Chains A and B, each alone.
Chain A
Amino acid sequence: MTSLTEKRAARTQPETRTIRGKVHLREHLMGWLFVGPFGVVFLAFLIAPLAYALYLSLFQKKLIGGTSFVLFDNYVKAFTDPSFLSGAWFVIRFSLVSIPVQIIIALAMALILDSVTTLFARFSRLMIFLPYAIPTVIGAVMWGFLYSRGFGPLTDIFGLFGATAPDFLGSDLIFYGLLNVVTWQWAGYYMIILYAALQGVDPTLYEAARMDGAGRWQIATRIKIPLIAPALILILVFSLIGTLQFFNEPQILRYLAAGTIGSDFTPNMYAYQQAFSLANFNYGSAISFALGGIVFICVYAFLFFTRKRRSFL
């Protein structure tokens, strides 16, 4: 009896091992199968285009003489090209002004909506968020018409007081014209993120604070803001990346303010012009990568200076 069982055991052991091996392999395969769809899309639509653009940026194509490998010449050219540098300087300046403005507005709105719980608050929340639901292109066209001195409302409004309307599409005020469009579009979106973060704060903390004698203002500055700091940093990074890649709004407003907004207004517009209008895909790719480098440096610097508070990256 015993020998039989032993024998059986001896016989089944390797079998189980192979079965276990098969199961392992199958699970392994299943894992890959699950990752597969994402992997394919990730490789095909992110890694491959990036690699191809990097490859392109190492070549130079001339009308006379054809294509040649130049290594980093395009990058050297980009960082000495006044068009690229002035565009980069513009988006950096624009980020420095527009991001604080947007975040302060979004934060103020979120804090107000968090402490008011009437029906009106819910309505306002929707209204503030609404501009984000309007496509960027439509928003830019709409603002372009509002700014227009020929048929926009500004001329009439200022005319009532006998003043001339400011030209937000002119070269002096285009910065503020764009600032307004961007803030209008994005502040509501950031507000929703901050509002959601505020909803996640434990209300007992407020109660405790009130018992300790804290006022509303103190609760907001001492409890709410520190607790949603990770969300604040998140939207700061989002807006920094988005603003440095500024493209849609100026590209659309160009058709209404062509002399003011040149084809090299922002680095992304310059890359677009080089690639699709002048057929210089190589230099266009190099500009894109150079911009990517600037974005990386800015974001890294930002995260470095806020490293004590960060908890999400």
Chain B
Amino acid sequence: MKRRRILATVAMLAVGTGLAACSSDEGGSDASNCTNTITKKDLPVVTMWGWYPNTQLVVDNFNKLNNEVQVCWTNVGQGGDEYDKFQTAISAGTGAPDVIMVEADRIPTFQIQGALVDIKKYGYDAVKANYSEGAWKDVSVGDAVYGVPVDGGPMGMIYRKDIFDKYKITPPKTWAEYEQAAQKVKDAGGPLFGDFGANVPAVLMALQIQKGATPFTFDPAQPKAIGVKLNDQASKDVLDYWGGLAKKGLVGTQNQFTPEYITGVINGNYATYISAAWAPGYLTGAGVGKGQDTGKFAVAPLPQWDPANPVQVNWGGSAFSVTKQAKKPELAAKVAYGLYADKESLTDGWTNQIIFPLNLTALKDPAFVDLKVAFFGGQQANKEVYVPAADAYQGVQYAPFGQYYLDAMEKQVSEVIKGSITGSQAADRLQEDVAKYAKEQGFTVQ
């Protein structure tokens, strides 16, 4: 009897301590489990989430140069994975890092929930001149600044030189020429000309903006009102164009960022890849351009609708933001302003094509502009394509419910790919869906 009683007590205690162990875990904001090693242990620590392939080096450089604050970095996942965790931490009110890497198009989504800190009063003036006005616009909502730009994604058309040579075509300058070239390659029994993937709605949004669409209009002075215009003629034209290419069998409909797609890129199944300046770094990391396909890639400016009035657009690009959960926002802002802003980190970033820097010290550096990019077989890709595209980029107004919009777009594009609806119908449905969501969320939709 006595032994049993002891056992029962032990069991109770075990459960109790088990429960206690659960509650002592502080999650993502814990500074004790950094990926990097902090050597200056007596300095205050700021936690940071980010996923640049060279973050380790960037953080080490910052910590080495700084004698006020040290960064504790964790990689909690790339893109959507990180946003989901951050979103959950926002809802929970705890668990977010002090500084977070976010893509510029997500800033309004988090800003409207009051999750980000306006860092204008924490040293903006000192670094203002280091970035272009367009770069600041992408990370601002109204007059308030919610991030420090790091990299941009000026778009271009990556293509396979071997395929273009074989079928005797030159890089198309307009979308009409793009279709003609695609038809020519197909008629000659060649590979697909490009890819219309459902899971890259951000690309389609950029291409719609290139044709003149303004998906969202938002005045911070009237935060309750939002303009949603997803089915204007420009938006419809772009979806119809790509839907048509897919229907004619000129482009593939494979989801991108998948092993399947990358295998196709390596095997030369796609003659072009409509993408951004960070793509060479991403592709190299995924194993492209290392074997039989070495030096077969080149890049040309993005095809235009009206060559007389070219429009340049952007895909991706990111910034460092300070979160509302940061206990010392001033220190956190120092980190946001200083990370990835030193010459050594930036140089590492652009020489390895991990980032297309927005910091003007790098962007105007002749070594950067004249760089002969190894991935493109020594082509001066920055000078020829990406820098002019970045210079001409005007900035975009992103939605405060970007996640919903992109998910909804992905859904409609899947339907276009299946052939059940046309691009125009997809645009109409998207408009209806997103406008309904905006109303549900309490906005007045104009």
**B residues in contact (CB < 8 Å) with A:** 5, 8-9, 11-12, 14-16, 19, 80, 83-84, 87-88, 90-91, 112-113, 197-199, 223-224, 253, 255, 258-261, 263-264, 267, 400-401, 403-404, 407, 410-411, 413-414, 417-418, 440-443
Kindly specify which of A148-156, A290-298, A299-307 makes contact with the partner chain: A148-156
Question: Contact between B199 and A277 (Cβ–Cβ < 8 Å)?
Answer: no
The CA-CA distance from A295 to B211 in the complex, in Å, is 48
Question: Contact between B441 and A63 (Cβ–Cβ < 8 Å)?
Answer: yes
Extra contacts besides A44-B19, A262-B414 (6): CB < 8 Å: A30-B5, A148-B259, A169-B260, A277-B403, A278-B403, A278-B407
**Across the A-B interface, the 9 shortest Cβ-Cβ residue pairs:** A259-B198, A64-B442, A150-B263, A62-B442, A258-B199, A65-B442, A258-B255, A63-B441, A259-B414
Q: A240 to nearest B CB, angstroms?
A: 28
List of B residues within 8 angstroms of A238 by Cβ: none
Q: Which listed residue, A34, A171, A257, A258, touches B410 by the CB 8 Å rule?
A: A258
A interface bracket (residues with beta carbon within 8 Å of B)? 20 to 34
Kindly specify which of A8-16, A35-43, A229-237 makes contact with the partner chain: A35-43
Question: Contact between B84 and A64 (Cβ–Cβ < 8 Å)?
Answer: no
Write the chain B residue with the least CB distance to A259: B198
The CA-CA distance from A187 to B439 in the complex, in Å, is 47
User: Taking A63-B443, A64-B224, A259-B197 as contacts, is the C-beta distance between A277 and B260 under 8 angstroms?
Assistant: no
Question: Contact between B400 and A63 (Cβ–Cβ < 8 Å)?
Answer: yes
Does A120 reach chain B (CB closer than 8 Å)? no
Question: Contact between B404 and A149 (Cβ–Cβ < 8 Å)?
Answer: no
List of B residues within 8 angstroms of A64 by Cβ: 223-224, 441-443
Q: A152 to nearest B CB, angstroms?
A: 9
List of B residues within 8 angstroms of A251 by Cβ: none
Docked complex: A145-203 residues within 8 A CB-CB of B = 145, 148-151, 169, 171
Taken residue by residue from 39 to 68, chain A's Cβ proximity to chain B (1 for < 8 Å, 0 otherwise) reads as 011001000000000000000001111000
The CA-CA distance from A20 to B97 in the complex, in Å, is 60
Q: B27 to nearest A CB, angstroms?
A: 14
Does A71 reach chain B (CB closer than 8 Å)? no
Write the chain B residue with the least CB distance to A262: B411
The CA-CA distance from A279 to B407 in the complex, in Å, is 14
Question: Contact between A40 and B87 (Cβ–Cβ < 8 Å)?
Answer: no
**A residues in contact (CB < 8 Å) with B:** 30, 33-34, 36-37, 40-41, 44, 62-65, 145, 148-151, 169, 171, 255-260, 262-264, 273, 276-279, 281
Write the chain A residue with the least CB distance to B443: A64
Q: A7 to nearest B CB, angstroms?
A: 33
Question: Contact between B258 and A259 (Cβ–Cβ < 8 Å)?
Answer: no
Q: B440 to nearest A CB, angstroms?
A: 7
List of B residues within 8 angstroms of A171 by Cβ: 414, 418
Q: B137 to nearest A CB, angstroms?
A: 22
Question: Contact between A258 and B441 (Cβ–Cβ < 8 Å)?
Answer: no
A–B pairs, 28, beta carbons within 8 Å? A33-B12, A34-B8, A37-B11, A40-B16, A63-B113, A63-B443, A64-B443, A148-B259, A148-B260, A148-B263, A149-B260, A150-B263, A151-B259, A256-B258, A256-B259, A258-B197, A258-B410, A259-B197, A259-B198, A259-B199, A259-B253, A260-B414, A262-B410, A262-B414, A263-B407, A263-B410, A277-B83, A279-B88
Write the chain B residue with the least CB distance to A261: B414
Q: A84 to nearest B CB, angstroms?
A: 14
The CA-CA distance from A236 to B230 in the complex, in Å, is 47
Q: A163 to nearest B CB, angstroms?
A: 19
The CA-CA distance from A34 to B4 in the complex, in Å, is 10
Question: Contact between A150 and B259 (Cβ–Cβ < 8 Å)?
Answer: yes
User: Taking A63-B113, A150-B259, A259-B199 as contacts, is the C-beta distance between A277 and B442 under 8 angstroms?
Assistant: no
Q: A38 to nearest B CB, angstroms?
A: 9
List of A residues within 8 angstroms of B87 by Cβ: 276-279
The CA-CA distance from A169 to B261 in the complex, in Å, is 13
List of A residues within 8 angstroms of B112 by Cβ: 63
The CA-CA distance from A183 to B236 in the complex, in Å, is 43
The CA-CA distance from A149 to B88 in the complex, in Å, is 36
The CA-CA distance from A257 to B224 in the complex, in Å, is 37
List of B residues within 8 angstroms of A145 by Cβ: 259
List of B residues within 8 angstroms of A41 by Cβ: 15
List of B residues within 8 angstroms of A37 by Cβ: 11-12, 14-15
Q: A265 to nearest B CB, angstroms?
A: 10
Write the chain A residue with the least CB distance to B262: A150
List of A residues within 8 angstroms of B407 by Cβ: 263, 273, 277-278
List of A residues within 8 angstroms of B198 by Cβ: 258-259
Question: Contact between A256 and B417 (Cβ–Cβ < 8 Å)?
Answer: no
The CA-CA distance from A264 to B440 in the complex, in Å, is 19
